[in-house]
Structure 1
Amino acid sequence: MPHLRLLTSIAIFGAFVVFVELAYGWSRVLAPWAELSWGLVIVAALLAGLTYVLRTLRLYDYYRPVMRGRFGACLRLTLTHNLLNNLLPMRTGELSFPLLMARYFQVPPLNSVPVLLWFRLMDLHTLGFFALLALGSHALGVGPALALSLMWLATLPLIRRMAPFLIARIEPWEDRRLASLMLRALQALPESPRAFWRAWGWTMGNWAVKLAVFVWVLALFLEAPAPALWLAVIAGDLTSVLPVHGVGGAGTYEAGVMAALLPFGVSAQDALAAAINLHLFLLGSTLVAGALVPWLPATRGET
């Protein structure tokens, strides 16, 4: 089965590359890069790099007793995990997180996997907030959209308050996969309210910066309403949870971006070209950040 999934990923990647060449031509799709100011691209890449730091701070803060004084190793772990997650098919890069936590910080998978699930739950919840804000502002206006989004935002601290009740109700079903995942995520909730709010703050800060940067980059390649750009960036990111996608997310990432743009009247050709170039920026920033990994310490005292 794993080999079949890998072959499927490679097939999707190959079919996507051939389709773009036959339908539009890669030279036409990539032509806008020649007209961009590289100063803007560098600034966007630096801001994208800031999101890696924010993600690292979330992890470092959660595991402060274990990671104290080893921020460089924590950043190395985050960049490695991000690199593998964005390049390997079928989210297999997620498997690197518990392995790296055990290798660098001697944190066993039984501890790190539930924390990763909790982080992913916070990520999805935050993406839901921004999606509601973007969609609601387009359909209802800014005021109602903000009210609806804040109501959604309030559900996460509510989940924390109800965690003991939810755990007790889910435990009888823990032999089922979804229930088991939810149970482990709830059990990884920070013990103190302050730790919970800090983790949530790092999550909100990371996604606010990341989405804003990617919306800005997408706007360099495409003229579209702001809600369309925000929803497109969010949809592209959410494709990473699909059970099947191409190597490096090729094809499925673009499909997610296009699915959000087409209802706003953007032509399929313009949407595809913009989605490809946004994806190239994502992969490029991932590779540049990944190139820093060998220069970061892996163990205490390493330079």
Structure 2
Amino acid sequence: MLPFRTGETSFPLLMRSQFAVPLARATSALLVMRLLDLHALCAAAGLGLVLGTEHGWSAWLLWTAFLLAPLLLFAVKRPLLKRLNGRLPERLGGILEEIEAGIPADTTGFARAWAFTVVNWAVKVLVLAWVLGLLGVAPLGASFGGALGGELSSVLPLHAPGGVGTYPAGITAGAVAFGAPGHRAAVAALAEAAINVHLLIVASACVGTALSIVLSWLPKRR
């Protein structure tokens, strides 16, 4: 709800108060999660571009390289941090150690986090792109661009509660940027589809919340 997802500052504070995790370590973990989210969103949108392009194997090669980029960066994490730590004052070096502790320690753990993030966002973007396609958004790349634009709109400095207005605008802008027609009638139809998708998301969230509340009231089996 808040600009730049400032509500997420509660995560490191909660980790410190409830689990005694240092603030720098929890903040580092949050930053890694959000960077993986951004990468997964861009990879999902890139898939739409690749499917709609005529460049064939070269486009798939570039997309695969981008998809695997976090694993390659993680492989050089340790030597980079070690080199940086040797050049910092002792106090800053301690902070850097806490930041490093907030990053998965081994490749297996990082790969698992990366894979789950990619699958999670891929499913969401694919479903949103599919729904936009059903509502008449074309070509295929525009559907993916619309899904990406809607999700990225939530990090705007100013946006309405629940993304009302800004989320559909993000979908519209993303779809046009990825190849949807830009004339007035087409944009109007696209905006209508974007609003319907946003209403679907809000309704799904409300239904899910209601179900969770009802289920919490049910007696637990022993």
TM-score class, shorter: 0.7 to 0.9
Aligned mates of 1:274, 1:90 — CA distance in 2: 26
Contact persistence 1:163–1:186 (CA under 8 A) = no
Aligned mates of 1:143, 1:183 — CA distance in 2: 42
Give deviations 1:147-198, integer Å, cap 9, x for gaps.
111111222111111113433566679xxxxxxxx99876532112211111
Work out whether 1:283 is the aligned partner of 2:202: yes
- Name 2:47's counterpart in structure 1: 133
- Name 1:231's counterpart in structure 2: 145
Give deviations 1:17-72, integer Å, cap 9, x for gaps.
xxxxxxxxxxxxxxxxxxxxxxxxxxxxxxxxxxxxxxxxxxxxxxxxxxxxxxxx
After TM superposition, the structure 1 = structure 2 runs for residues 241-252 of structure 1, keeping only pairs within 5 Å, are 241-252=155-166
Cα 1:185–1:239, aligned 2, differ >3 Å: closer, same or farther? farther
- Name 2:125's counterpart in structure 1: 211
- Name 2:189's counterpart in structure 1: 270
After TM superposition, the structure 1 = structure 2 runs for residues 250-261 of structure 1, keeping only pairs within 5 Å, are 250-261=164-175
Higher deviation after alignment, 131-140 or 263-272 = 131-140
After TM superposition, the structure 1 = structure 2 runs for residues 82-231 of structure 1, keeping only pairs within 5 Å, are 87-102=1-16, 105=19, 107-167=21-81, 188-231=102-145
- CA shift, 1:99, in A, is 4.3
Where does structure 2 lack aligned partners over 5 or more consecutive residues?
89-95
Where does structure 1 lack aligned partners over 5 or more consecutive residues?
1-86, 174-181
Aligned mates of 2:205, 2:11 — CA distance in 1: 16
Instruction: State how many pairs are aligned.
Output: 206
Of structures 1 and 2, the one with the larger relative CO (CA 8 A, separation 6+) is 1
TM-score normalised by L of structure 1: 0.58
Aligned mates of 1:170, 1:154 — CA distance in 2: 24
Secondary structure in structure 1 of the residue aligned to 2:103: coil
TM-score normalised by L of structure 2: 0.76
Contact persistence 1:89–1:248 (CA under 8 A) = no
Aligned mates of 1:235, 1:184 — CA distance in 2: 34
